[in-house]
Copies of this chain bind each other. A is one copy, B any other.
Amino acid sequence: MTIFASRRGLLKLGGAASLGLVANPAVAAPSTERKLGYAIVGLGQYADVILPRFAECRYSRVTALVSGSMEKARRYAARYDVAEAGLYTYDTFDTIRDNPDVDIVYVILPNGMHHEYTLRAAAAGKHVMCEKPMANTAAEAQAMIAACRAADRKLMIGYRCHFEANNREAMRIVREGELGKARIVTAEHGFNIGDPTQWRLNRALAGGGSLMDIGIYSLQAARYLTGEEPVEVSAVESTDRSDIRFKEVEDTINFQLKFASGVVANCVSTYGSGHNRYRVVGTEGWLDAEAATGYGGNRLRLRRNGQTADHPAPDLPVNQFSGMLDHLSQCVMTDSQPIVAGEEGLRDMKIIEAIYLAAREGRTVRL
């Protein structure tokens, strides 16, 4: 049993190796119904999204919580049924090596802490799920991959859209040529960021501004929809530095990607206004989604033969969050490579660095 591509999908997705859809052909069903134990590191907003989703997991459960505050950890432990022995602070985190109930550490900390906690988790002998962006820099990402490889542990990045029904259907439609030859992608992600004191606006903790946090969805979409890698990037940044929110990081950074096949992508990344959509235009039609990459409520449309219609994706067995959590558990149990492994995160980090360079120097950067 797998939530991934059908046989038909696998046969046709030959060009998509970069996204792991081929590199990870149908992860075999684990031979047991055992649930692997996750330690959640960082009990912030996104942990509040993730934690309830273990209830729908088949191969995953939460067995540990790591927080700066034991009081907070205990409050969450009561809600999610985690034993006192599974509660850690950042100071005691390394002792997690001695906890046999923890198989996987899920790093949901600010970006600037991903590198440290991934390395500490690998050193503790645990597999790692790390939130996106993978790190503040490509160099950190490379070190994280190396550390997990040296420890013989899996490393997966929390790219949930690869487990979401509409996004998977959109990938299939584009890559199977149902739009003819894909030509132009537009992808927009943004929101009007609030509290100026939050970590997302702190360069050391966030690594950058909108591109790191939300623009990365536009970048990912351009890549996973086409199944191709960009060869050139250009970018334009627009940030009002007198806005107290943007003392350290960028607001808007829009970018263009050119792929080897000739496909081009126009992408929006902003912390100033609401955007959540993409469109892929091919020679024989288009698909678009708005919302495209939300936690729920995504909506896909398809235009072919001059007609535009809603195109609900086939159901997947579970929601994107549970599917993502279980995927890593399955990969651990069957010793398979996750479809969004550390290498996938590193690809984004390298492109993100190229986008920043292109904007800073006002030139097209080749990858």
List A residues at the B interface (Cβ < 8 Å).
183-184, 186, 188, 190, 192, 232, 234-236, 238-240, 252, 254, 256, 258, 262-264, 266-268, 270, 272-275, 281-283, 286, 362-364
Contact = CB atoms under 8 A, between A and B. Distances in A.
A226 B268 CA distance: 18
A120 B133 CA distance: 61
Given A236-B232, A272-B183, A362-B363, A266 B254 contact: yes
Given A184-B273, A234-B234, A256-B254, A266 B264 contact: no
Given A184-B252, A254-B264, A273-B281, 17 more contacts: A183-B273, A184-B188, A184-B268, A184-B272, A184-B273, A186-B186, A186-B188, A186-B268, A190-B281, A232-B236, A234-B234, A234-B235, A234-B236, A240-B262, A252-B264, A266-B266, A266-B268
Contacts of A281: 190, 273-275
A264 B283 contact: no
A288 to B, nearest CB: 10
**Lowest 9 A-B CB distances belong to which pairs?**
A362-B364, A266-B266, A236-B256, A273-B281, A363-B363, A183-B273, A238-B264, A234-B234, A238-B262
A183 B271 CA distance: 11
Contacts of A364: 234, 236, 362-363
Contacts of A266: 186, 254, 256, 266-268
Contact of A184 (B239, B262, B270): B270
A266 B264 CA distance: 12
17 contacts: A183-B252, A184-B270, A184-B273, A186-B266, A235-B256, A236-B256, A236-B264, A239-B262, A252-B264, A254-B256, A273-B283, A273-B286, A274-B281, A274-B286, A275-B281, A362-B364, A363-B364
Given A188-B186, A252-B183, A262-B240, A234 B273 contact: no
B234 A270 contact: no
Contacts of A234: 234-236, 256, 362, 364
Contacts of A267: 266
Contacts of A272: 183-184, 283
A16 B183 CA distance: 35
A249 to B, nearest CB: 16
Contacts of A363: 362-364
Given A236-B232, A262-B238, A275 B184 contact: yes
A64 B95 CA distance: 91
A264 to B, nearest CB: 5
Contacts of A184: 188, 190, 252, 254, 268, 270, 272-273, 275
A177 to B, nearest CB: 14
A190 B238 CA distance: 26
A118 B267 CA distance: 40
Contacts of A252: 183-184, 262, 264
A125 to B, nearest CB: 46
